[in-house]
Amino acid sequence: MTYDCAIIGGGPAGLNAALVLGRARRSVALFDNSQPRNAVTHASHGFITRDGVTPAEFRRIAYEEVLGYPSVELLPWEVTEIHRNDHRFVAVASTGKQIEARKLLITTGLREIFPDIPGLRDCYGTSLFSCPYCDGWELRDQPLIVVSENSGVFHMAKLLYTWSKDLVICTNGHAVLDNDQKQLLKSRNIEVVEQAVTMFIGHEGKLRQVEFADGTRIERTGGFITPEWKPKASFQGSLGYEVNEFGGIATNEWGKSSVPGVYAAGDAAYVMPSQLIFAAAGGSKAAIGINMELTEEDFV
């Protein structure tokens, strides 16, 4: 059997695409190896009708809806290889299972790379986060630390000032702020620490203190950290699609990449800003793009 579409990645982007394609009566192979990016967090925010839902509950509802459409098949495996076979795409799973599809949608998301600081992983998702729009409300008016090694730290400091005025900005040993920026931060009583963070000290994920290279410790109950983002999976070697300035798959408005028949959506394409509702909307648009293309090919 040749599927109309293979979707690689069943997060909100892939799931919304599967929903739209299933409702359009297209046959869909939906691969997902169940490693969603937001798995560490206890609640997801900012998605209308689902504000505060746990990531697990969000996925449960989405899978129940999507798999109600008989032409959508869930293949719960990692895809390790994709190649072309004439006008078809062949997706190979870690189990060795292979399927063929006319169109391909990549919705594999991102992975985060953090500085190697003891205690960071224990607090990430409970009191340390990376996106103020996702978790700023929960940390409002608290003593916060912002850790970022790149020049975006100034923007992050300005942004977070809406959520809390009690901010310490740490560049983790990097000189990324100029004097004007430091002055402006100082004028708002925002302390800048250019030393490296040596430890996040907390209990059951709740941050209590931050220790710096000179041994000093400050009291903080939460904060934001800017990781480096990389694609969770890359099929660029075999497919040859172009990437955008953020390292995501470059697409047009309908999720179409530079390679005919290959689409991408969600964090795999946009990287920033990454939000559940953006990912779901991108998946929906890509599905409509794919269905338009299939329709044009078939209705001749």
Ligand X SMILES: Cc1cc2nc3c(=O)[nH]c(=O)nc-3n(C[C@H](O)[C@H](O)[C@H](O)COP(=O)(O)OP(=O)(O)OC[C@H]3O[C@@H](n4cnc5c(N)ncnc54)[C@H](O)[C@@H]3O)c2cc1C
Chain positions contacting ligand X, by CB under 6 A: 8-14, 31-38, 40-41, 44-47, 78-79, 107-109, 125, 129, 131, 134, 232-233, 266-268, 274-277, 279
Residue type, position 77, single letter: W
C-alpha angle 267-32-87 in degrees, rounded to nearest 5 = 85
Q: Which is nearer to ligand X, 22 or 125 (CB)?
A: 125
Which of 254, 264, 266 has its CA nearest to residue 296?
A: 254
Burial class (CB in 10 A: 0-12, 13-18, 19+), 87: exposed
Q: Cβ neighbours of residue 158 under 8 Å, at least 6 residues apart? A: none
Q: Give the separation between CA 45 and CA 228, rounded to whole angstroms.
A: 22
Q: Which is nearer to ligand X, 13 or 146 (CB)?
A: 13
Q: Which is nearer to ligand X, 38 or 226 (CB)?
A: 38
Q: Cβ neighbours of residue 229 under 8 Å, at least 6 residues apart? A: 110, 111, 112, 113, 246, 247, 267, 271, 272, 274
Tell me how far, at minimum, the Cβ of 266 lies from ligand X, in Å.
2
Q: Which is nearer to ligand X, 6 or 193 (CB)?
A: 6
N-term to C-term CA, the chain: 22
